[in-house]
Structure 1
Amino acid sequence: MSGGEDGNINAVEAHHRTPSEAWIELMAGNARFVEASSSHPNQDAARRTSLLSQQHPFVMIFGCSDSRLAAEIIFDLGLGDAFVVRTAGHVIDNTALGSLEYGVEYLEVPLIIVLGHDSCGAVTATKDAVATGKMPAGFVRDLVERITPSVLASLRKDQNSSVNDMVEEHVKQTAARLVENSPIIANAVARQRTAVVGLTYRLDDGTADLVYSNGSIHQ
């Protein structure tokens, strides 16, 4: 997928992708990134112009704010391809949930990705807080409190859980909570208009691994 005339066509047609088509395209982009063969699509002036009055992203990415997790880069995406929401530890609050509902309700995005990564600082801080009983100061405490259920669930499964085990559990719980907490997202998934997928990203090789799915996608 490239800019120019094709970029203009894609800006319109992305709106009509199925969850499965969106999933296949997303993972093809990650494969290119892993192989160091990124095509850097939809990043030229023609693509920019085609998006002046409309946007039809084919994926929403709700990911951690970590600087090593640049969503458009690791999935080889361009302008107009992804609607991105990021918080530390991909913690859900009302603003994040409202942003995702906007993407489903108004942009009809067919795929929601919850994106975690190994060595997550927010999850590490929560693991430490659970172990020591000492909570961090300021609003970081709010992050830790929201991640704590995932850390405790991981420890119940295995008292020797690593931070990366906890990240995976947190991705699963976050993805499930999106559907549980939002009737708008739940309705879109039930109608097979949207799928919710959880991925964990490996910092060492750039691979995004599937750990959760709710909706119709093909692996």
Structure 2
Amino acid sequence: MNSDRAVGAQPTASAHERSALASPARRALLRLGLTGTAALGATAALGAVPASATPTAPTRHRPGTPDEALRELAAGNQRWRTFRQRHPDESPAVRRSLTSGQHPFALVLGCIDSRVPPELVFDQGLGDLMTVRSAGEVLDEAVLGSVAYGVLELDIPLVMVLGHQSCGAVKAAVESDLSGERLPAHIQYIADRIAQNIDRTQEGDARISSTIDANVRAIRTHLAAEPDLAAKVTSGQLAIVGARYELTTQRVHRIG
């Protein structure tokens, strides 16, 4: 893939279908665990508007295929980097509608970096994205389980692994690899996972930048090899893509 093309520039998969990997009863139980508490608490909130006085949430097309999800993310990033954000899905009606369920159209696995919040970078609102964040997008069982939940239980058609320019976790891993010095506490765990993807053909800042991309590719490959996710990719119900956010331009582009 061309690393310079914008997100959504290439089609990826066919129409989205309902997943048959979990029973209806199990789905209902899992969803209740995430939404039931919110529904109960909504009416108890200070200043809550009575149901009879609450307007119906405005209809907004929800992307249902990988292609549609990619196009929506690309359009949102275009709005973000040209300062034309719409801040969608924040109205009182939308907030109330979300107390009974959620239907996010994409899952973004990104870094914890405070400069790269997915909802802002893609100009999306409440209920639009499921986000999972760890330093350097590093995978562990909790992260894998979170991604699997979004795909298998909520039928999300797109998973994006989002790295970013000047990633501190990648820089720490590269510098530790060069010096041989151990990092404090649990930070070494992060560095060890990233170290597997260091591009030692490059030097200096180029090594850090290249490793950011290599790390995204490795994580995407790992996710795509997970049997349950792979089955949905094969059927065309899911796309798993890698991308990178440039701090200098605020642009997100695909990484092959």
TM-score tier, shorter chain, comes to 0.7 to 0.9
Q: How does 1:30-69 map to 2 (within 5 A)?
A: 30-69=77-116
Alignment of 1:174 onto 2:216: no
Q: Give matches, 1:85-100, under 5 Å.
A: 85-100=132-147
* Residue 104 (structure 1) shift: 0.6
Deviation of the 1:32 alpha carbon? 0.4
Task: Give, in angstroms, the shift of residue 162 of structure 1.
Answer: 2.9
User: Match for residue 179 of structure 2?
Assistant: 132
- Identity over aligned pairs, percent: 35
Do residues 79 (structure 1) and 126 (structure 2) align?
Answer: yes
* Over 2 Å off, 4+ runs: 4-7, 158-162
- Secondary structure of 1:168's partner? helix
Q: Shift of residue 185 of structure 1?
A: 1.1
Kept after mapping to 2: 8 A contact 1:43/1:78: yes
Contact kept in structure 2, 1:118 and 1:163, CA below 8 Å: no
Q: Which has the larger radius of gyration?
A: 2
Tell me how far apart the structure 2 counterparts of residues 5 and 57 of structure 1 sit (CA, whole Å): 19
2:223 corresponds to which letter in structure 1?
L
TM-score normalised according to structure 2 size: 0.75
8 Å Cα contact 1:104/1:110 also seen in 2:
yes
Counterpart amino acid of 1:51? L
| Contact kept in structure 1, 2:70 and 2:158, CA below 8 Å | yes
Distance 1:44 1:165 in 2: 41
**Distance in 2, Cα, partners of 1:53 & 1:164:** 43
Partner Cα separation in structure 1 for residue 109 and residue 80 of structure 2: 19
Count of matched residue pairs:
201
Q: Secondary structure at the match of 1:84?
A: strand
**Could you state the TM-score of these two structures normalised by the residue count of structure 1?**
0.88
What is the CA distance between 1:159 and its match in structure 2? 4.8
- Listed one character per residue, the Cα deviations across residues 137-161 of structure 1 (whole Å, up to 9, x for unaligned) are 210010000000111xx214x3564
Q: CA deviation at 1:183?
A: 1.2
Offset of 1:6 from its aligned partner? 5.6
| Counterparts of 1:101 and 1:183, CA distance in 2 | 11
Q: 2:242 aligns with which of 184, 191, 198?
A: 198
Local SS of the residue matching 2:200 = helix
Question: In the aligned structure 2, how far is the partner of 1:6 from the partner of 1:47?
Answer: 5
Larger fraction in strand: 1
Report whether the alignment pairs 1:155 with 2:200: yes
C-alpha separation between the residues in 2 aligned to 1:203 and 1:114?
Answer: 16
Partners of 1:135 and 1:20 in 2: CA distance: 43
Q: Distance in 2 between matches of 1:100 and 1:28?
A: 23
Q: What is the CA distance between 1:5 and its match in structure 2?
A: 4.5
Deviation at 1:67, TM superposition (A): 0.3
Q: d(CA) in 1 for partners of 2:179 and 2:114?
A: 27
> Equivalents in 1 of 2:228, 2:90: separation in Å?
31
- Aligned to 1:162, the other structure's residue is in SS state helix
> Which protein is richer in helix relative to its size?
1
